[in-house]
């Protein structure tokens, strides 16, 4: 099962990708996470990407395409992948088509998570994650059960993304509308686009995505 989760920042792509990983035994590929790891490592790519990410703009296509080409060949993508944050431009989508063709793979589905813009800002500016296991939380919508303690691993240190602030969010939304939204007609023309109401509760969104995927491919590996 090879799929793309498409949607603006804060639409819930990362949350859904994590659930789908377990259900279908496939791997989440988050280009944002990959870039943040490069920034943290201080690599040449990280040094180039850091300021762009902080401004809410998009990192150059050629960097992303190079990163993705090697990531797609990793062993954990053998049974499939969930692209989260890639492609973000029509150029990236074209490059992805070529990469997949060269590797004898195809896309099963592109799922758009549709969320009102006014809701996105609140979702993004309240989110934080456990510094140890990366479990995601939100100040009001999903605080840890015990304040200051991660539900998943018991960690007590939390982080907030540098670009999850009200100012940068506007730039990220503008980048989505200008550069990424044109992918919707691109994939609609390929006949593989499905849209899900991303305003629903996460469990309901997951059910809707599973219905789409299960109609296209063999049953989920785990129930």
Integer-rounded Cα Rg, in Å, for the chain is 17
Question: Is residue 29 within the footprint of ligand AMP (CB under 6 A)?
Answer: no
Task: Please state, as a whole number, how many other Cβ atoms lie within 10 Å of the Cβ of residue 61.
Answer: 17
Give catalytic status of residue 71 as yes or no.
Answer: no
Task: Note whether 155 and 131 are within 8 A (CB).
Answer: yes
Return the number of the residue (12 or 56) whose C-beta is nearest ligand AMP.
56
First to last CA, the chain: 16
Task: Please state, as a whole number, how many other Cβ atoms lie within 10 Å of the Cβ of residue 103.
Answer: 12
Rounded to the nearest whole angstrom, what is the least distance from the CB of residue 92 to ligand AMP in the complex? Answer: 6
Rounded to the nearest whole angstrom, what is the least distance from the CB of residue 29 to ligand AMP in the complex? Answer: 10
Give catalytic status of residue 88 as yes or no.
Answer: yes
Counting Cα atoms < 13 Å in the Cβ hemisphere of 92 gives: 25
Contacts made by residues 93-99, CB under 8 angstroms, sequence distance 24+ = 93/183, 93/186, 93/187, 95/61, 95/65, 95/68, 96/68, 99/65, 99/68, 99/69, 99/72
Question: Is residue 52 within the footprint of ligand AMP (CB under 6 A)?
Answer: yes
> Can you tell me which of 50, 123, 127, 172 binds ligand AMP, judged by CB under 6 A?
172
Rounded to the nearest whole angstrom, what is the least distance from the CB of residue 221 to ligand AMP in the complex? Answer: 26
Task: Please state, as a whole number, how many other Cβ atoms lie within 10 Å of the Cβ of residue 168.
Answer: 20
> Can you tell me which of 24, 81, 86, 187 binds ligand AMP, judged by CB under 6 A?
86
Window contacting ligand AMP (CB under 6 A); options: 17-25, 28-36, 138-146, 203-211: 28-36
Could you tell me how far CA 64 lies from the centroid of its own chain?
Answer: 14
Residue of 161, 178, 210, 216 marked active site: 161
Question: Is residue 28 within the footprint of ligand AMP (CB under 6 A)?
Answer: no
Question: Is residue 32 within the footprint of ligand AMP (CB under 6 A)?
Answer: yes
Question: Is residue 53 within the footprint of ligand AMP (CB under 6 A)?
Answer: yes
Closest CA to 93 of 25, 177, 179: 179
Q: Nearest 10 degrees: CA dihedral of 5, 87, 30, 169?
A: -90
> Can you tell me which of 7, 9, 12, 155 binds ligand AMP, judged by CB under 6 A?
9
Question: Is residue 88 within the footprint of ligand AMP (CB under 6 A)?
Answer: yes
Rounded to the nearest whole angstrom, what is the least distance from the CB of residue 104 to ligand AMP in the complex? Answer: 23
Active-site positions?
A: 13, 88, 127, 161, 172
Which positions lie near ligand AMP, rule CB under 6 A?
A: 9, 31-32, 35, 52-53, 56-59, 64, 85-86, 88, 92, 163, 172
């Amino acid at each position: 099962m090879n799929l793309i989760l498409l949607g603006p920042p804060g639409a819930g792509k990362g949350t859904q990708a994590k659930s789908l990983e377990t259900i279908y035994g496939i791997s989440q590929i988050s280009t944002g996470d990959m870039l943040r790891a490069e920034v943290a490592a201080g690599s040449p790519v990280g040094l180039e990407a850091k300021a762009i990410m902080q401004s809410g703009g998009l990192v150059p296509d050629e960097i992303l395409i190079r990163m993705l080409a090697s990531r797609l060949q990793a062993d954990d993508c053998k049974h499939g992948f969930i692209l989260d944050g890639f492609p973000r431009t029509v150029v990236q989508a074209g490059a992805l088509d070529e990469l997949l063709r060269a590797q004898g793979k195809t896309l099963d589905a592109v799922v758009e998570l549709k969320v009102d813009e006014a809701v996105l800002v609140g979702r993004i500016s309240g989110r934080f994650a456990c510094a140890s296991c990366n479990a995601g939380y939100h100040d009001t919508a999903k605080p840890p059960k015990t304040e200051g303690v991660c539900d998943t691993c018991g960690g007590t240190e939390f982080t907030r993304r540098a670009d999850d602030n009200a100012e940068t969010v506007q730039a990220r939304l503008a980048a989505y509308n200008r550069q990424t939204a044109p992918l919707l007609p691109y994939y609609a023309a390929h006949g593989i686009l499905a849209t899900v109401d991303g305003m629903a509760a996460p469990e309901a969104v997951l059910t809707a995505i599973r219905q789409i995927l299960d109609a296209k491919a063999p049953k989920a590996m785990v129930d």
